[in-house]
Amino acid sequence: MTSRDTDEEHRASTPLELLFDLCFVVAVSRAAALLHHAIAAGDAGSAVVSYVLVFFAIWWAWMNFTWFSSAYDNDDVVYRLLTLVQITGVLILAAGVPRAFEHRDFDIVFVGYLVIRAGLVSLWLRAGRYDRARRATVHRFAAGETLCMVGWGGVALLGWPIWAFVVLGVAELAVPVWAELAEKTPWHPEHIAERYGLFTIIVLGETILASSVAFQAVVDDRSGDTTAVLTAIGALLTVFSMWWLYFAKPAASSLVSNKVGFPWGYGHYVVFAAAAAVGAGVGVVVDSVTGHAHVSDTGAAAAFTIPVVLYVAAVVFIQTLLFGVQRLRLAISLAAVLLVAAATFTGQPVLVTGVVLAALIAAQFLVSAREPAH
């Protein structure tokens, strides 16, 4: 298993990687659905904490394999089999999402991670056998991920206290940083950018699903109330704008080093988690409009607008990392964030948010048209 060429042209996601991502759809969908129903039932505080913890587990499992495969995907039989082992672990993880979310019992998630890490650590050790120049790096990855699993086993014995999640979460995030200090793994910028873009589309799918639910509410509503119609229109405007904002500029050409790659990659936790939460927020607003939510109108609106604010802020952050500080763009984005936050207190939070984001895209387009060509 030798390393891939970082200058390889037309490097694209493989069918196996797409299958890997498809399995994460299950976990993301369950987490978003549980967040939706918990907030609609009036249990927002506990639901948000559970969602943050569960989504970290989902995101980190995807992250670990994605960066490895960018550097060492040789697509032979052994690689495929060990990847299928990890996919099995992802499905076990997804099965444990409801228990983890509702009861903070991560036992099943932990079992899923054991299976995932068994496959991934085996791949790291295999890479170390053949890539002698980076043997120290890959052995650090294997050792760090194994020690973290031992730590999670201890957390399980303690009953999954919140403080332990923070400690082990920081340790997990530190492993790649520590490992890459020995020697940078040969991840491929275009491939990584594409992989992240595909996962962004997956999490935006939750908002698309919620939008379809809003349109279904319109079809089922015979009262003549236009609120559901405007909510459905606003949800579509929002998800279209979220997609446009993320893909406004190609990221690959600016992903030139770990100094940029680490904050860019880690910053996507907020991008992904917020995007999926927007879908949950749309669901809460629809429940509120149709009289099926046990939460105030303002609380339902906040369940939608807060994730949108976080998404826009996170996308602006990662784009600033790639392209530098652009004051006019930052000012426009800040204004949009403030207007979305204010939309919480309007009678049509989803529609107002959709219009504001569409205006943000239009304003950025005008700014780009005035910029000199490079």
DSSP string spanning 94-109? HHHHHHHHHH---HHH
pLDDT digits (tens, 9 = 90+) for 313-365: 999 999 999 988 888 889 999 999 999 999 999 989 999 999 999 999 999 88
Percent of the chain scored above 70 by pLDDT?
A: 97
Structure tokens at 144: 């760090």
Cβ-contact 322, 264 below 8 angstroms: yes
Are both 164 and 204 inside the same structural domain? no
Q: Which of 180, 213, 229 is the last residue of a domain?
A: 180
The span from the CA of 238 to the CA of 228, in Å, is: 15
Give the closest residue to 113 by CA, choosing from 71, 63, 67: 63
pLDDT digits (tens, 9 = 90+) for 225-252: 678 888 889 999 999 999 999 999 888 8
Is residue 84 assigned to a domain? yes
Are both 31 and 161 inside the same structural domain? yes
Helix extents (H) in 3-76: 15-40, 44-72
Is residue 9 assigned to a domain? no
Q: Mean pLDDT across the stretch 128-137?
A: 91
Q: Which of 147, 180, 213 is the last residue of a domain?
A: 180
Are both 162 and 210 inside the same structural domain? no
Domain containing residue 47: 15-180
How many alpha carbons lie under 13 Å from residue 14 in its C-beta half-sphere?
Answer: 14
Question: Within a 10 A sphere around the Cβ of 76, how many other Cβ atoms?
Answer: 9
Are both 199 and 174 inside the same structural domain? no
CATH number at residue 295: 1.20.1410
Give the closest residue to 239 by CA, choosing from 276, 208, 269, 272: 208
Are both 155 and 202 inside the same structural domain? no
Phi, psi at 372, each rounded to 5°: -65, 145
Structure tokens at 267: 């910053």
Is residue 342 assigned to a domain? yes
Are both 139 and 236 inside the same structural domain? no
The span from the CA of 170 to the CA of 139, in Å, is: 20
pLDDT at 371 over 70: no
Are both 143 and 240 inside the same structural domain? no
Is residue 4 assigned to a domain? no
Are both 202 and 333 inside the same structural domain? yes
Is residue 6 assigned to a domain? no
Are both 205 and 108 inside the same structural domain? no
Q: Is the pTM of this model over 0.85?
A: yes
CA dist 313 to 192, 235, 258, 320, 340, Å?
Answer: 21, 19, 22, 10, 12
Are both 159 and 254 inside the same structural domain? no
Are both 172 and 259 inside the same structural domain? no
pLDDT digits (tens, 9 = 90+) for 145-167: 999 999 999 999 999 999 999 99
Q: Which of 180, 206, 231 is the last residue of a domain?
A: 180
Q: What string of H, E and C letters represents the secondary structure of 317-339?
A: HHHHHHHCCCHHHHHHHHHHHHH
Domain count of the chain? 2
Are both 99 and 172 inside the same structural domain? yes
